[in-house]
Structure 1
Amino acid sequence: MASALTSVVVGAKAKHTATVVFLHGLGDSGNGWSFLADELSGLLPHIKWILPNAPSRPITLNAGYQMPGWFDLTGLDKSSLKDEDQKGMLASVASVNQLIRQEVDDGIPANRIIVGGFSQGGVMSLLTGLTSEYKFAGIIGCSCWLAMADKMKSMGSDANKKTPILMCHGDMDSVVQFQFGEESANRLKTYGYDVTFNKYRGLAHSANPAEIQDLAKFIKDRLPQE
């Protein structure tokens, strides 16, 4: 059974008709991305934000020390990323799906839900969105890469084959290299997915106002107020 996740929840300011689930990066928490919900709540008052907290786990990249993480990482070079903690990834997918199922049970249709994330959380949002049986309004992956890339053509569910995907990446990212994000977006395009890949000049492993603006537009276009 999937482990239950705790979450930072920022409620809708008006009638709740849509939800964004946004997953943080390694070593962070839901609070680390609450600024996004706070910043966009005026523009998107009908949206509830769920910002899950990853469980604490030993991270090989961090000498085995415990820290919040969606899966283990041995390194951030190309060969290390191929050494994937698929068991950890799939366990986290199950936990995120549990949150989404609760939203659907509470009356928010899956096509009024966007799943997104940053860095490790972006890896998880792509993996969750592409394999879910729920048809989402959109999928967002920031400063991340496509996990299980070689398997995704067969793993991907039919539900989100046409779902718009927004991927964003700074070209000065020294943590998750820009080329990893770009190659991932291109791989998804060859699989037939509807991917927009945005490049941000001079941006390191973080977000900037231009990216936040692009996220806001994508969310508003995909989840208009009813």
Structure 2
Amino acid sequence: MQVTYGLMVVIGLVSYLAWKRSELQSRLLLNPYETYYQKQYWRLLTSGFVHNGPLHLFLNLFTLYFFGAAIEQIFTIFFQEQGILLYLVLFFTAIIVANVPTMLKHKNNPRYNSLGASGGVSALVLAFILFDPLRQLCLYLFICLPGYILGAIFIAYSIIMGRRGRDNINHDAHLWGAVFGVIFVLLLRPSTVIAFLDQVFLK
């Protein structure tokens, strides 16, 4: 799990430095207008390393700690020496892919900004659910459901809230990160879907 811990340290350090230097945060966060029209495409990735505040950072790192470590271990088992590389590709690519719809949706709004590793973290959560759908996952520490049910609720919630757009949360990034996590695993190991269905329907 050393790679996961390394990711946590880097994300935490960059977020902290960005809080201290507002110009750094402005340079790294996702501003769809500047990303699209000024071709500052690095923002699609670097926005995953900055956060809005300590609580935002804590929630993403807390989730990364559990699900990132689990996926790192699972990938190492299934893909051996390529596992760590594939794990990093999943996480970083998920951040980028999750941000692309936001860039296209808000590219004409210079005042819109988005930041956080939620797209990558969502990909890890849904990837984990594919491998272990019956594992009890807890929301807010007291609502515990099998992973496949919680994953379905999460996706439905992200779609609904993304359409409403009434809060400051980038639900589109959550949704597309989650979808990418599922697609990534199925492309790497198609037999995962058979194991998933067997566990869910033949439990």
What TM-score results when the alignment is normalised by the length of structure 2? 0.31
Q: Determine which structure has the larger helix proportion and give its number.
A: 2
Greater relative contact order (Cα 8 A, min sep 6): structure 1 or 2? 2
Between structure 1 and structure 2, the one with the greater Rg is: 2
What TM-score results when the alignment is normalised by the length of structure 1? 0.29
Q: Determine which structure has the larger strand proportion and give its number.
A: 1
